[in-house]
Structure formats: structure tokens, C-alpha cells
Amino acid sequence: MSTRIETLNPETTTGKSKELFDAVQKKLGFIPNLIKVFGNSPATLQTYLSLGE
């Protein structure tokens, strides 16, 4: 049995993850799968994105 972490759908995501997805979309023109996975935890996603700043 394998356990997989689901990627979020940017079109149906809400809240802080949606805000961060929108920022990534604006900057890159798309949302990479890793970002969609990190969206499951908005705090993790925000921390990951801040590493590049």
C-alpha cells in the first residue's frame, strides 16, 4: 500500500493557499506540482516561497 499526498487544484483551492497560488501563477505563468502539494499546508508553502526571496 502506498500513501500519496494529493496535489490541490488551483481552480478550487481557497484561502491562503489560493492567494499564494495566484502569486506563483502571476510570477511564473503556471503552478508547479510541488507548489500544489505544498498548498496542503499554507504555512509550509509560504515558507518555501520565502526561501527564494
Residue 19 falls inside a structural domain? yes
d(CA 38, CA 8): 9
Residue 41 falls inside a structural domain? yes
Q: How many domains does the chain have?
A: 1
d(CA 8, CA 18): 10
Residue 21 falls inside a structural domain? yes
Question: DSSP state, 6?
Answer: P
The position carrying cell 481557497 is 14
Residue 33 falls inside a structural domain? yes
d(CA 7, CA 19): 16
* Residue ranges of the chain whose pLDDT lies below 70: 1
The sign of the torsion formed by the CA atoms of 11, 12, 18, 21 equals negative
Residue 39 falls inside a structural domain? yes
Residue 1 falls inside a structural domain? no
Residue 9 falls inside a structural domain? no
